Amino acid sequence: MISKSTIDQVFDAARVEEVIGDFVQLKKAGSNFKGLSPFSDERSPSFMVSPVKQIWKDFSSGKGGTSVSFLMEHEHFTYPEAIKYLAKKYNIEVEETEQSNEDKIQADARESMYLVSEFASSYFKNILLKTDKGQAIGKGYFKERGFTDMTIETFGLGYSLDEWQAFTDEALKKGYAIEYLEKTGLTIVKEEKRFDRFKGRVMFPIQSMSGRVLGFGGRILTSDKKAAKYLNSPESDIYQKSKILYGLYHAKQSIAKLDNCYLVEGYTDVIQFHQTGIKNVVSSSGTALTSDQIRLINRLTKNITVLFDGDEAGIRASLRGIDLILEQGMNVKVCTFPDGEDPDSFARKKTEQELRQYLENNAKDFIAYKASLLMKDAKNDPVKKAGLIRDMVTSISKIPDRIQTEIYIQECSRIMDISEEVLFSSLAQIKKKSFEEANKGFKKNQKVFDVVQRNEPVKKVNIQYELERKIIEILLLYGNKTEEFEDLVLKEADSGELILEPTIHKAKVFEKIYLDLQEDEMEFTNENFKVLYYTLVDTLNQNPDYALESFINLVDDKSASEITNILMNDERYSLHDWERKNIFPKDKSHSISQLVNETILSLRCFLIDQKVTEFRQATQDTKSSNKTILEDVLNYSNLKMLLSRKLNRVL
């Protein structure tokens, strides 16, 4: 187990905006940062990060928390793994206490698969670097490709011996269960026999965005025509090929910094580019591009440059997948290499400056490139040309931005020598057809403006819940601030009337709330809020200068989630950029004392209402008018009227 001192150091050092910035492209929004949700498919930002409070909130999925909870949600880390990841990021030495047998047993299946994959990565790397066969065969191949020792180390490249059970035997000897060796696909089990899946191949570990080993790609080194040249790990609980991009772990910071991502096909393309000095490059690992893979890039940049080999037939086959990129509102460029060259071979012959220059000079807008390429095919064949125009308009129809759509229509009109009116007409037909297909399940006979009756009852607002929540919010935001408060002392005037006489005094916000609730003998009805309330008051009472943004690190997961929801509730409005529209919401911190007083008074009024209702119920139950009860009702009603005046509203 990790020591408490290490955990405290990690929480002190970790900056939530830096941690999340490695996975999501964040933009400044006032004192916060915003970005696209990494947990759902969206085009408008609903993800908010608060550096001041050191928490995040995803309003589209409802998730939120600290930098540790983000890693647990996004990367599926366990709590200890998240702490270790952050410790490594911030160069903190991890102190661990002895783990009990019970703790070891509690490691779940997914975790066991991660551990097996990490072991396999270390094993293959050691075979490559520290055995004669690894040096001669595996490293010999990588040196042929021009990879340096540093590159081999950076990408964790390895070699699997050309023996049937070498890896499996070693893994079993080290105590790894055959169940997880099979589940990760590292070992093939057939009845009593066990085989190494990647026997005789050089190994490319495939990592998640945070660097965890999820699976492997293995390249065969013999000319065996029956065996696949490249072999990937099979799909498993931790490895889904369609949701992973090779090289993203090494490329993510460069992609975000340069605001562009180069997309290639193979492992060696990525590695060669990285070695040359261009690090913002990833690969779809030879599979057709998927929406999930595009979303990974979309979190870091809106700009993709797809790099194609010089083979025109291959380019045409790959063009189909690019419509998916356009669909997500991204900007796509295409760059091709000379005939017979691919990104790997081309980068090997160039310096970093020469390669950058080539990419800048030859990257063309995708729509313009596709139009020019298709028109070469059509030449003077009208039927073929009509089909290609429809193909182009279909691609343009995927673009969500209307201005961009219009510009592309104009460009295609010029390249294809056809009127804009015809292209716009074709675009309208395609969009109409897509809309109809998407709405096939809609009730056929229902008219557009029919009123749909709701059968569910309208949910009633729980006033006491909201007021208790507001008290917790005030304590979290301003609990240790000192403010001037106007207290109301209930007095009897000379006329015998009840009056509220104001008195001014200074106090800490948490002291003011605690004393007021104590005076009125008010108890929280919500158990979560009750626990949070007493923990907050106790913490602030012992250390009035306590940094409240650190409070979330002291509580359990359930309370931490509730705290995040409370603290980030108001931040959702900053997602809409009100200031840009000359709308300036009032800052609550300018009137803390007023906010505290109003909340306490509102709670008092609510409780008075409850008391009056109880008294009235008591008179009904006794079926007689009890004079004492009626007097109490009158006194409480008068008190409520006084409080209403103080609040300047009818309650």
DSSP H helix total and E strand total for the chain: 27, 18
Question: Which pLDDT score, from 0 to 100, does residue 650 have?
Answer: 42
What gap in Å lies between CA 249 and CA 469, rounded to an integer?
40
Q: Is the separation of the CB atoms in 125 and 157 below 8 Å?
A: yes
Average pLDDT of 34-42?
86
Average pLDDT of 577-581?
53
What gap in Å lies between CA 263 and CA 471, rounded to an integer?
51
The letter for the amino acid at 524 is F
Q: Is a pLDDT exceeding 50 seen at residue 651?
A: no
**Three-state DSSP class for 304?**
strand
Beta strands per DSSP E along 355-434? 364-365
55 or 572, which is more confident: 55
Q: Note the pLDDT tens digit of each residue in 61-105.
A: 888 889 998 998 888 788 888 999 999 999 998 887 665 566 555
Provide the token pair at 264: 């290639």
Name the pLDDT band for 415 (thresholds 50, 70, 90): confident
Can you list the domains of the chain with their CATH numbers?
A: 4-89 (3.90.580.10), 109-239 (3.90.980.10), 248-431 (3.40.1360.10), 463-554+586-647 (no CATH)
Q: Lowest mean pLDDT of 272-276, 306-310, 463-467, 553-557, name the range.
A: 553-557
Mean model confidence pLDDT for the chain: 82
Average pLDDT of 191-209?
94
What gap in Å lies between CA 485 and CA 598, rounded to an integer?
11
- Report CA-CA distances (Å) from 263 to 274, 279, 322, 403: 13, 11, 11, 26
Q: Is a pLDDT exceeding 80 seen at residue 27?
A: yes
Q: Left if phi > 0, otherwise alpha if psi is -120 to 50, otherwise beta: which for 286? A: left
Q: How many CB atoms lie within 10 A of CB 208?
A: 22
Strand partners, 498: 492
Q: Note the pLDDT tens digit of each residue in 613-645.
A: 666 666 665 555 565 555 555 555 655 555 555
Average pLDDT of 292-308?
90
- Using CA atoms of 576, 580, 583, 589 in order, give the dihedral in degrees to the nearest 10: 80
Question: Which pLDDT score, from 0 to 100, does residue 148 have?
Answer: 96
pTM equals 0.73
Residue given tokens 């030859």 in the structure block = 362
Question: Which pLDDT score, from 0 to 100, does residue 253 have?
Answer: 87
Residue given tokens 């949910």 in the structure block = 459
Name the pLDDT band for 270 (thresholds 50, 70, 90): very high
**b/e burial code for range 455-493 (CB count within 10 A of at least 16 → b):** eeeeeeeeebeebbbbbbbbbbbbbbbebebeebeeeee
